[in-house]
Amino acid sequence: MAVPFTPVEIDAIRANTPGCTDDLIHLNHAGSSLPDVSVLDAQIGHLRREAGIGGYEAAEETAEAEAAVYDSIAAMIGGRRHEVARMEHATAAWNAAFWAIPKRPWQRIITHDHDYGANWVAFLRAVEVHGVVIERIPSDAHGQIDLERLASALERPDDIALVSLAWIPTNGGLVNPAAGVGALTRAAGVPFLLDACQAVGQLDIDVESIGCDALSATGRKYLRGPRGSGFLFVHSRAVERFAPAHPDHHGAEWSAIDSYTFAPGATRYEYWEHNHAAWPGLGAAVDVALRLGVDRIQATIAQRAKELREQLVERGMSVHDAGVAKCGIVTMTHPTLDAGEVVSRLATRGVNASSTFLGSARADMEARGLPSLVRLSVHCTTTPAEIQRAATAIGEI
Ligand SMILES: Cc1ncc(COP(=O)(O)O)c(C=O)c1O
């Protein structure tokens, strides 16, 4: 079990994070976190080169650095570099995998109530396009995916297109038992698409022990990377089984006038054009996480979130985070004010928070009868003093 960072270590991390100042308490890391200065330097440095010598020429100069980003990501998640594809954000990554997975009419898409709004919209579109059906696995008594119900659903694997799971949902502190799901899908031979948008950078990840076939991630949240960056992991065993829906001539070679050949590995999911400043920025963010140790980041976040939950309850707030294991996303309702009002009043007190609304996670919000929620998300840069000040501000509004 990793130990949380000491106060001295947190001060050092904050000193390298320009957004960590005394007059702003950023509790919106699940929205977009605060990057390390090396992330800014990587991006701004590249933008200056593009402006100075031309975009293609600047890209040539940084080709090696761009290639190294795949190694960093692979090291962070326990995958291999050719299993990683560059993406603009998590939904782009998730969709690239989702639409690549073969689907036949009447096959089931198995998911959990906590799956993300964008993913649900894709399920509904797949119902129209492929004639598949959606099967919802309910939550167990702890509020996480019910593994027994999933095991029974997997008894007829031939009529399943895929299992989709949000590891950490957008609207709460739940950490779904992804490895439990992976063990069941591996045994059944069913594709497992894991939305790790809120998990990457926050949880110590090993894709082999999780058993997912594809995993989608974004840069700007717990990785503390640039906006408009992300990645997709596709396991080697799934590469030939799935087929990207919209390859370009980088994802596939136009090998003859009437044929194409997919690029090797996960490259087949990429487009040629991309943000050459954001990708090395993401690499810098991953390198920071690796240097700090994701296990220690995870331990620190868990400790801070626990402190926040306790202090909110002490001040009469209702905390709605489900699950056995909880993460850095803390959701609450105020006894009298709606979520939007709480968020704007906090903003005037120098506290950044956000709210989650029905469309982000409708199935879960409706099942639990929840209105919109205030979402307060901590990171390893958050100090106990900030928790205290933010909780006091919430108690006072
Ligand atoms: C669980 C989850 N999945 C996917 C997404 C979408 O990520 P992106 O906006 O990077 O596409 C979010 C965004 O909040 C999320 O919380």
Distance 165 CA to ligand 1 centre (A): 12
In the reported structure, the alpha carbon of residue 223 is separated from the centroid of ligand 1 by a whole-number distance in angstroms of: 13
Report which of 196, 191, 157 is spatially closest to residue 176, judged by C-alpha positions: 196
Confidence of residue 196 (pLDDT cuts 50, 70, 90): very high
Task: Report angle CA 136, 220, 326 to the nearest 5 degrees.
Answer: 50
Q: Which of 189, 252, 277, 220 is nearest to 92 (CA)?
A: 220
Cβ atoms within 10 Å, residue 146: 18
Decide if domain 42-290 falls under CATH 3.40.640.10.
Answer: yes
pLDDT band per the 50, 70, 90 thresholds, residue 135: very high
Ligand 1 pocket test, pick from 170, 200, 229, 364 with the greatest ligand atom count within 8 Å of Cβ, gives 170
Residue 211: predicted pLDDT: 98
Domains 7-35+293-396 and 42-290 equal at CATH topology level = no
Structure confidence at residue 278 (pLDDT): 98
Report pLDDT for 1. 82
Cα separation, 122 vs 94, in Å, equals 10
Q: Out of 113, 198, 364, give the residue to mutate to test ligand 1, the one with the largest number of ligand atoms within 8 Å of its CB.
A: 198
Structure tokens at 291: 């240097």
Cβ-in-10-Å burial (0-12, 13-18, 19+) of 234 comes to buried
pLDDT in tens, 244-272: 999 999 999 999 999 999 999 999 999 99
What pLDDT does residue 109 have? 98
The residue ranges of every structural domain in the chain are 7-35+293-396, 42-290
pLDDT at residue 81, rounded to an integer: 98
- For ligand 1, atom 15, name the residue with the nearest CA: 170
Residue 238 has pLDDT above 90, yes or no: yes
Q: pLDDT category, 125, cuts 50, 70, 90? A: very high
- pLDDT tens per residue, range 11-20: 999 999 999 9
Phi, psi of 196 (to 5 degrees): -110, 25
Residue 374 β-bridge partners: 332, 355
Tell which atom from ligand 1 comes closest to the C-alpha of 195: 3
What is the rounded distance in angstroms from the CA atom of residue 53 to the CA atom of residue 336?
57
If you average pLDDT over residues 210-221, what whole number do you get? Answer: 98
Q: Which pLDDT band, with edges at 50, 70 and 90, does 113 fall under?
A: very high
For residue 10, the model assigns a pLDDT of: 98
Instruction: Give the pairing type, strands 252-256 and 259-262.
Output: antiparallel
Question: For tokens 């920025």, what's the residue?
Answer: 281
Q: Report the pLDDT value the prediction gives residue 269, as an integer from 0 to 100.
A: 98
In the block, residue with structure tokens 């990785």: 223
Q: Which atom of ligand 1 is nearest to the CA of 31?
A: 14
Ligand 1 centre to CA of 41 (Å) is 25
In the chain, % of residues over pLDDT 70:
100
* Residue 61 pLDDT greater than 90, yes or no: yes
pLDDT grade for 341, boundaries at 50, 70 and 90? very high
**Does residue 340 surpass a pLDDT of 90?**
yes
- Mean pLDDT of the chain, nearest integer: 97
- Distance from the alpha carbon of residue 54 to the mean position of ligand 1, in angstroms: 33
Ligand 1: residues whose CB is within 6 Å? 89-91, 116, 118, 166, 169-170, 195, 197-198, 218, 230
Q: pLDDT tens digits, residue range 33-51?
A: 999 999 999 999 999 999 9
Nearest to 118 by CA among 83, 79, 169, 153: 169
Are 260 and 254 within 8 A, CB to CB?
A: yes
Report the percent of the chain where pLDDT is more than 90: 98
pLDDT for 371 equals: 83
Nearest ligand 1 atom, CA 92: 11
Q: Which CATH number describes the domain made up of 7-35+293-396?
A: 3.90.1150.10
Other residues' Cβ atoms within 10 Å of the Cβ of residue 248: 15
- Nearest Cα to Cα of residue 396 among 312, 331, 299: 312
pLDDT band at 121 (very low <50, low <70, confident <90, very high): very high
pLDDT, tens digit (0-9, with 9 covering 90-100), for 173-192: 999 999 999 999 999 999 99
Residue nearest to atom 4 of ligand 1 (CA): 197
Closest residue by CA, ligand 1 atom 14: 170
Chain centre to alpha carbon of residue 12: 25
* Distance (Å) from CA 240 to ligand 1 centroid: 27
